[in-house]
Structure 1
Amino acid sequence: MSAVFDLLERPTYTMAQVDRLLGLPSGTARRWIDGYVRNGKPYPPVVREEHTGEDYATWGEFVETRLLSEFRSAGVPLINMRPAIEVLRAETGSPYPLAHSANLITSVGRELVKRVQDEVNLDEALQLVVLRNGQFMLTPPAETYMNAVRFNKRGDAVSIYPDPEFREIVIDPLRAFGEPVVDDRAVPTEVIAEQVRAGDSEEMVAELYELSPEQVRAAVLFELRRSA
């Protein structure tokens, strides 16, 4: 088993942490990742192959939930995306087909996604790829997701930019227990913001952690936005 596959399978967050890190309403991650029951009717998970009852999400599940979060305002139940993901799992042999850039960057991968979407009659509002002027193009939600995820040379998701306006800040499962950090030094943004709130100047904090004042400022603004 590869190290990257181990990473995607690594239990990383509680469901509550996934909601917090992705800015989702409480309980959303659990419904999407592990399914739920409403009025006695079970609804299968979108992300997992089947309900497990586990409170922890793997890194691969977190990454795919990040993609689903882009479709929250689609007006179509996200459970409708499950058939497409199931077929993509079978076609790619990966439990996390949307955590690999090849399926959304390369023309072959996009063609596969488009074919699967058509096979399962996926709602237009939930589609990842469209055919435009003879080319397979990402839809806006899929493009936003791809710009938020950092992939390694093999095309596997290894970290996420939690806010597109602050590219200095990343979420990396192997650093700071997966909490948002300033990329260069892996200093948690929460630690930086707490020290500034306690009265330390941004310049002092920057010197303490060997960061630039711009990085410290980005961490403070990021945490302010998260708590708003």
Structure 2
Amino acid sequence: MSSVLDREMYSEAEAARLLRVRQSTLHYWLEGGQARGKSYKPILRDKPRGSRTVTWAEFVEAGFLREYRQKHKVPMAELRKFIELLRQEFDVPYPLADRRPFVVSGRRLAYDAQTAAGLGVDFWMVTVADDQLMLTTPADSFSQRVDWVDDTAVGYRPDANLESPVRVKPDVRFGKPSINGVSTEVISEQHDAGEDRDAISEMYALTRADVDWALAYEFSVRAANHAA
């Protein structure tokens, strides 16, 4: 599965569009940067690569950061340290594209890493409730967006709706959002060309609900792009 995680999948611009974050933000997460004469290390890479190509693992991990940045303005210095510690504790290069920090058996290491990194309580990935280690809302939301095989992220749901069947997968349609192997963009193009939804579902051997989900997703992408 490591080869899947290392696979170069997207340009920075395309990854940012799918994740609905600014490209400049994604670039900073991947490559770090400079501000007021000070250099800042990357968050998702152990060191800058000078590349604007995004691997599958980097895309998934950026989804985790997106979840946190949208719900909490988590300080990047502490989050950077937290991810570095997770790499060390789980001995993997992509700890947030690995399921183990999110399951019960791995939460103690995640809890120890977040406290060692100095993350404030509001920014924790794992919290304590009734003497049990539980995922916080952003961490749980991210985990539910990911499809896992064993401990490896093999799919990601770009739609915030938990019921949505839209997925991006590294080995399906070159990572473009799709339903049952059919690109949502293609479905949207057929609809724009005048085909009705029942005809589209028959054309691609999809259910009418699949078509509705695909169009709802594409419409939301357009609205987000327009707002930006």
- Is the shorter-chain TM-score for this pair beyond 0.5, marking a shared fold? yes
Matched, 1:227 2:225: no
Deviation at 1:75, TM superposition (A): 2.4
What SS class does the counterpart of residue 164 from structure 2 fall into? coil
Give the unaligned 5+ runs of structure 1.
none
Encode CA deviations 1:67-110: one digit per residue, 9 max, x unaligned. 000111412333420111111111211000111112111x2300
Deviation at 1:140, TM superposition (A): 0.5
1:221 is aligned with what amino acid?
A
TM-score in terms of structure 2 length: 0.93
Which of 187, 191, 199 is the matching residue for 2:194? 199
**Matched positions, count:** 221
2:165 is aligned with what amino acid?
E
Deviation at 1:167, TM superposition (A): 2.3
Residues 122-201 of structure 1: pairs in structure 2 closer than 5 A = 122-152=119-149, 154-165=150-161, 166-182=163-179, 184=180, 186-201=181-196
Deviation at 1:210, TM superposition (A): 0.5
- Conservation of the 8 A alpha-carbon contact between 2:79 and 2:117: no
Q: What is the distance in 1 between the residues matched to 2:74 and 2:157?
A: 26
1:157 is aligned with what amino acid?
A
Q: What is the distance in 1 between the residues matched to 2:69 and 2:215?
A: 27
Give the unaligned 5+ runs of structure 2.
224-228
- Conservation of the 8 A alpha-carbon contact between 1:189 and 1:219: yes
- Conservation of the 8 A alpha-carbon contact between 1:71 and 1:78: no
Deviation at 1:138, TM superposition (A): 0.4
TM-score in terms of structure 1 length: 0.93
Q: What is the distance in 1 between the residues matched to 2:20 and 2:59?
A: 12
Q: CA RMSD in A?
A: 1.2
Encode CA deviations 1:137-164: one digit per residue, 9 max, x unaligned. 0011000001100101x12100011113
Residues 27-46 of structure 1: pairs in structure 2 closer than 5 A = 27-46=24-43
Name the structure 2 match of 1:99: 97
What SS class does the counterpart of residue 72 from structure 1 fall into? helix
Q: What is the distance in 2 between the residues matched to 1:113 and 1:76?
A: 16
Encode CA deviations 1:41-76: one digit per residue, 9 max, x unaligned. 221111110111111111111111100001114123
Encode CA deviations 1:102-138: one digit per residue, 9 max, x unaligned. 2111x23001000111112112232100111110000
Residues 198-217 of structure 1: pairs in structure 2 closer than 5 A = 198-217=193-212
Name the structure 1 match of 2:226: none
Name the structure 2 match of 1:84: 82
Percent of aligned pairs sharing the same letter: 34
